Structure 1
């Protein structure tokens, strides 16, 4: 007989209720999205590119993936270090003492119905997890990343847009004054998003 044979089984733990985040806070955890390729440059210069890569369409919203790359020119090591920090920290919000404007990376959307929002727009109810947040909501989501060396910096990020914009094209707007990128925009086709919606699949088969 083994020493461990008569060790009692631990008592069953009570199963806590499943946490379901508000719909505005991120994509459903039980859906396989339909992917809509975009492949559109927001900015393209000798120093920097930024592109809207694709949209993951869910039943209630979408994830927009944006990628960018910055090339080193004649920056010193210390100057290149500052650029690297700006890229990985998205510039950090600050106000220029002369212009009164921020130089950080900024994103926003204009929906087909005329409403617009940005990643810095805070909505009433967000801080208490309320379901009653008035859309639209645009927020940075997980899944981005990046890398850097002495010559180039690569980075990407994804944005959760809720609700899913249908009925016309959505305008994606970006600006990054710190890296010399003025306000730019691309259109996301509402027709493509609508065509992708029926292709969204639930993970689980109903019992």
Structure 2
């Protein structure tokens, strides 16, 4: 069964990387960076790199960084904001399309797809994979992050939607 475009990257298209890698926010204890964008005809995959170091953080804060099942600190929030005022966060995704895949949700959507993480007593690193649907419009848009417990106030960086649209044109189907 093929999944609708808003569920995640297509399984039969080789996405193309967009030349975007940038820091979103840094504090004494944390770094959040946009590591890469992989563009497809109907959306793009985003790899968000999240890194933290304990330093002088109290155990109560450090212990909330990730839960017993690998879930991230609920204090970490992020999303996208487009020039037309539309926006999306992974929290917004309690939409009917998950229960009935044919129900088309209202765009845009930012969906958590996967996550890999590792930690030690004093450091934590995570690559969080997300899917942004539909493909962002050409021109600038914002990626926004907030992580109060790690010293990051709401911060927005500008992302080049035109570079993502150009990369999407180079995506190739697996089978002609």
Query: Shared fold by TM > 0.5?
Result: yes
Map 1:1-207 → 2, pairs under 5 A: 19-75=1-57, 78-79=59-60, 82-85=63-66, 88-92=70-74, 104-122=75-93, 124-126=95-97, 127-142=99-114, 144-205=115-176
Offset, 1:154: 0.9
Would you say how many aligned residue pairs link Structure 1 and Structure 2? 174
Deviation at residue 139 of structure 1 after TM alignment: 1.0
In 1, the alpha carbon distance for the partners of 2:116 and 2:150 equals: 19
SS at match of 1:172: strand
Counterpart Cα distance in 2 of 1:120 and 1:154: 21
| Between 145-154 and 83-92, the greater mean CA deviation after superposition | 83-92
Counterpart contact for 2:77–2:146, Cα < 8 Å? yes
Where does structure 1 lack aligned partners over 5 or more consecutive residues?
1-18, 93-103
Ranked by relative contact order (alpha carbons within 8 Å, sequence separation 6 or more), the top structure is: 2
Matched residue, 1:6 = none
Secondary structure at 1:85's aligned position in 2? coil
When you count strand as a share of all residues, which structure comes out higher? 2
Mapped contact 1:112–1:170 kept (Cα < 8 A):
yes
SS in 1 for 2:6: helix
CA deviation profile, 1:11-46 (whole Å, cap 9, x unmatched): xxxxxxxx1111111111001111113221111122
